[in-house]
Amino acid sequence: MAKLISAYSRTILVLILLLLLWEGAVHLFNVPFYILPPPTRVLFVFFTKLPLLLSHAATTILEIGLGIFLGAGGGIGLALLIFYSPALEQGIYPLIIASQMIPIFAIAPLLVVWFGYGLWSKAIVAALIVFFPIVVNTVDGLRSVGEETIDLLRSLRASERQIFRMVRLPASLPFLFSGLKIGVTLSVVGATIGEWIGAKKGLGYLMIQSNALLRIDLVFASIMTLSLLGLLLFGALRIIEQRLLRWRTAGEENYRTRGIGS
């Protein structure tokens, strides 16, 4: 934690300055708190309403988790199919890319009609958003293996399965994580929008309700919770990535020290 704070000390400093500016402006111009609450009030509401926020957050987390699971699972599966079947690649890949021109938020109301006000409509919005960066990155990752490496394995009579397990899978992991990091961030947005359109619970739902009641402080507290949630997910992914892909940082450190030496 201390390491984290020292690494981001400048960011934290800027953040504090901005918050101070906000706090000062609200008091200086006498802005009513139901229009723009000062950060101290948002913090106060955040802590006093923590049980309420957490119970809504639980629903949103479930939606995001389910969305990531479905989106990543489907994305990885389709990436494998696209990679191993040229016919599928020609038939499907352009369509997948074109489908990204459809704003997912525009079809979110349809999803609510089809899948109801519960968990599933939001999970599917999140999944649709996660899906695309995973497919594209995983396909790129599977293709990233050099021809000479494949030649080497073929000369040793490695089967396609061995080539996949020994080379293509590990080579595509960094790409997969890049996709996941983009996807996870976007999935928070996806779930929230899904909740705006129609929900019985969740942080997006809480925001809409509070907004209607001019409880702007609670809106800000919900936004804060959502941001923390996104950061937490991103951080967790970074930790898993660093554990799993230790070889990448090992190389970087070496380049750095070598750069100084020579």
Partner 1 sequence: MEATISRPAATIEAEGITKEFVFSGGRIPVLDRVSIDVPQGTWVTIIGPSGCGKTTFLKILAGILAPDSGEILHDAQRIDPRGKAAYMPQSDTLLPWRSALENTILASEIDGRPREAARAEARELFTRFGLSGFENHYPAELSGGMRQRLALIRTFLAHRELLLLDEPLGSLDALTRATMQEWLRSVWEELGKTILLVTHDVEEAILLSDRIYLFSDRPAHVRQAFAVRLAQPRSRISDRFVALKGEILGLIHAKEADG
Q: Which residues bind partner 1 (CB under 8 A)?
A: 146, 148-149, 151-158, 162, 166-167, 170-171, 173, 245, 247-248, 250-252, 254-255
Decide: residue 188, CB within 10 A, 0-12 exposed, 13-18 middle, 19+ buried: buried
By residue count, the chain amounts to 262
Shortest separation between residue 154's beta carbon and partner 1, angstroms: 5
| CA 177 vs CA 100, 149, 155: distances in Å | 20, 22, 31
Q: Which of 101, 102, 43 is nearest to 220 (CA)?
A: 43
Shortest separation between residue 138's beta carbon and partner 1, angstroms: 16
117's tokens = 């006000």
Sign of CA dihedral 155, 156, 159, 160: negative
Pick between residue 3 and residue 161 the one whose CB is nearest to partner 1. Answer: 161
Shortest separation between residue 137's beta carbon and partner 1, angstroms: 17
Pick between residue 6 and residue 262 the one whose CB is nearest to partner 1. Answer: 262
Shortest separation between residue 181's beta carbon and partner 1, angstroms: 19
Pick between residue 27 and residue 256 the one whose CB is nearest to partner 1. Answer: 256
CB contact set of 221 (below 8 Å; sequence gap of 6+): 42, 45, 46, 49, 53
The residue whose two tokens read 């020994």 is: 166
Shortest separation between residue 7's beta carbon and partner 1, angstroms: 23
Pick between residue 36 and residue 153 the one whose CB is nearest to partner 1. Answer: 153
Q: Measure the CA–CA gap between 115 and 121, rounded to whole angstroms.
A: 5
- Cα 212 from chain centroid? 28
Pick between residue 10 and residue 157 the one whose CB is nearest to partner 1. Answer: 157
Shortest separation between residue 158's beta carbon and partner 1, angstroms: 5
Pick between residue 29 and residue 255 the one whose CB is nearest to partner 1. Answer: 255
